[in-house]
Amino acid sequence: MKAFVFPGQGAQFVGMGKDLYDNNEEARAMFEKANEILGFRITDLMFAGTDEDLRQTKVTQPAIFLHSVILAKSLGDEFKPDMVAGHSLGEFSALVAAGAMAFEDGLRLVAARAMAMQKACEQNPSTMAAVLALPDEKVEEICAEIPGVVVCANYNCPGQLVISGEVPAIEAACEKLLAAGAKRALKLKVGGGFHSPCMEPARAELAEAIAATDIKSPICPVYQNVDALPHTDPAEIKANLIAQLTAPVRWTQSVKNMIADGATEFVELGPGKVLQGLVMKIDRSMAVSGQQ
């Protein structure tokens, strides 16, 4: 069984999607439609901008979404997923690719999500840190001991977690994690503490937009970040999308559940190869590939 997976923020690179734009008429029309919806030429920044341009949350998120969704569309009949999943932002790409949401609606939501997250970051300074080579339970235990907001935000693969929260709490947690034997506990260059209670203002803002968006049953189960379980019910999908902003990305658990449900091959659609690497670390017996 084939699982298609979609990357999140951090996978972007200058030049992403240019081949699609140049060589595929339908892809070009979708990119131009996106320029119109967003009110600026995101294609200029994707194809010939700077790394700095692409690092702005309001650009990064729609850019990765566009690249992933248009890639899936360009596959035509070859896009026959038995299941899909996306890492954080990638969940929106997965839902659109699997037919649960219209392309235009997905893009508007992603743009609104990016702006709401940016605003939440400005209201309450927060950050994230990568933690390597400690069991999940140990990281959870140490986070729970630290005063202030610090939580596990991304369960990426065994021995690789990302924590998220208020800056002083993250710094205190990093010290304790290193003392407990972590190989690394390193603050990341991100705009804020995503997938933590620090994103509550963004969650509240986005909830209304998600509630108003038409979501249908997808063509296959979507394994959502919040609970790592397969969903096809539109009401459940909406509730999980809203919860996603302040809840952890359970990627390790999602991949394990997809494998338990019969996945034997994972195809990553979008920029970079991050998810292919994570799948291999979760289960070396899987066939992995990607298109970008």
Phi, psi of 16 (to 5 degrees): -60, 130
Assess whether 88 carries a catalytic annotation: yes
Angstrom distances, CA of residue 31 to CA of 52, 85, 258: 21, 23, 31
Task: Please state, as a whole number, how many other Cβ atoms lie within 10 Å of the Cβ of residue 180.
Answer: 14
- To the nearest 10 degrees (0 to 180), the angle between helices 200-211 and 103-123 is 160
67, 87, 195, 231: the active-site residue: 195
Spatial CA neighbour of 131 closest among 107, 154, 106, 108:
154
Instruction: Write out the DSSP string of 21-79.
Output: HHH-HHHHHHHHHHHHHHTS-HHHHHHH--HHHHHSHHHHHHHHHHHHHHHHHHTGGG-
Assess whether 195 carries a catalytic annotation: yes
68, 74, 88, 93: the active-site residue: 88
Residues assigned a catalytic role? 88, 195
